[in-house]
Structure 1
Amino acid sequence: MNSPPYTVYYFEAFGGRAEAAHLTLAAAGVSFEKKGKDELPSAAFQCPALRDNSTGLVLAQTTVIAKFLGRRLGFDVAGGDEEIIAMKIADDIADIWKEGYSLRKQLDMARCLEWLDCMPDGSRNRGRFVRLLSVINESRSVGGLNGKGQTFLTGSEVKYVDFLLLNAIRTMEHCYGVEKVAQCLSQESCGNLKDVVENVKGLDKVKAYLETSPPVLYESISAAKLFGNAARSRSISPPKPPLQTAASISKRHSKGFVDKAVASRVDMSAPPGHTSVKKRSTINVGALHTGSIHDFNKEQRKTEQVENAWGAMFAGGGKK
């Protein structure tokens, strides 16, 4: 029995970074074999890796594999500037995959919220997902690909970059949820990227593959896990005023700005390093001085703010 034309080496339980290669091969109607990373022919290669069984050529790196298969299977972008722009878009898509996946693995809900924010305020990390999507859309326009109204990223025909985009978006949907990703894709600066993704999904052979394909990533970082934690925040009471550090309270007191509501949340009886928050008792603000108060537990403060943020988002139907 003859071997399939190509072999893809990756984790067999999920698609991950190899999924773009799977999608490209499926769209071309080309059979391929999946093998685990332990079966790689050489330790010099990293997953995902692709072997051309007709020549023995082995390639690694997601975008290199995508470009190679695109050229072999008729999904490459024409030469000249358009080809360079397509390569740039492929790198931008890789940034989305890398940032979104790495962030989700850290289990830091505060940073996840920042990264997904649809209304960035100019800070470095806030709204990075929408910014990266916007860069892709802008590259299409500046590069002469005129993305508005186009069926796919580079025109009316599906190309290898479209499969890279679909994989990145499906990965983000797995990590953060379909609704939240759709909200980000719907921003004006993203053009018609949302439609492009749906058009790629709608290709007959791609659709058939997705119906039987394994999960794009493992369950422990799924949106269900993230939203399961967030759902508990729905019963949380309305957000309290931000917790204050000892230094800021003393500074405000010296200027006559400390109010009793804020002061009532400082527990002066706790030992150094264990300052807690009091719900009802009050303290003598006039007795405060910088050296006698310790900073609040930072992790406690961050957790409270994040839970309140998630609660507000769910209370608003998923909109911030």
Structure 2
Amino acid sequence: MRMKLAATAAIALSVLPITASADGEVNIYSYRQAYLLQPLLNAFEKETGIESNVVFAKQGLAERLEREGRNSPADVVMTVDISRVNELVERDLVQSVENDVLEHNIPDNLRHPDGKWFALTTRGRLIFTSKDRVEEGEITTYEQLADDKWQDRICTRSGKHPYNIALISSMIAHHGEAYTEEWLQGLKDNLARKPQGGDRDQIKAIAEGVCDVSIGNSYYYGNMLQDENQRETAEKVRLVFPNADGRGTHVNISSISLTKSAPNRENALRLMEFLSSAEAQRIYAEANTEYPANPEVKPSGLVAEWGDIHPDDLSLQEIADNRNAAVKLVDRVDYDGE
């Protein structure tokens, strides 16, 4: 059995079983669509002879793992965003891994202290600005998003979206809750419209003149440049790597974890090792216009053309630990309100 792609709805997931104990297989629950993993898993099978079975869902995988318990066929979970990763840990759905290969390939700040998750790629939470209405170098830090000069000039998606919660969590880690609340209020006061849409929609809003500045993940910009229907829109904005001359740009992750059940544990560990390798890191990062988590692998393709990123070396686990505080601040300033 090669690749199995489930529908996104939880009800669809429940009717697509995968074999729990087949020889020479590894079973993957994934928040990333199977086609994004296909090149990686083809290379893994070519190297090891192990076939990969994938169940994809935009949401509901943690609930499915809880429901299945010890009978779950899933060996690993591949996810995006530190909030979703941390949810697996908090629900006790994944197990610790001590593995010399993984610990060599993935830096300390990009893996769980007890080996319950390992980053595979990173993406910067960047500032996008209008090439026509904002001078290069006019804004260079996250902190400046709260400056009065940007009043009615900024667009963002919901403050409660996990990508923004992670950024706010990092601000708490660096500045404390009191400063971050004041900063978040200033950012809200500078919004040109009520938070809405996704990261691509903020870039479109800049191109359409709705706002001059936005926040978004780097790979969305890369994906737009690769789409002939969105390229012209993306080319109207400028990338800014915030805090590049200071603590570094906030990054989030895609990751992999070993489930508590893991019926094909040895195959799963081989997959995890492979995905952290130089070969796989190049394939995965380039396919998704992201940055390799393995520091020995340089960015390639379109991402390399953007220049070097100076990532914040703050532990992603510390960001996860600040999540609840960040959510409370979003509520306190009524960020998504009128």
Bin the TM-score by the shorter chain. Answer: under 0.3
- What TM-score, normalized by structure 1, do the two folds share? 0.24
More helix by share: 1
Normalising by structure 2, report the TM-score: 0.23
| Greater RCO, 1 or 2 (C-alpha within 8 Å, sep 6+) | 2
If each structure's strand is expressed as a fraction of its own residues, which one has the higher value?
2
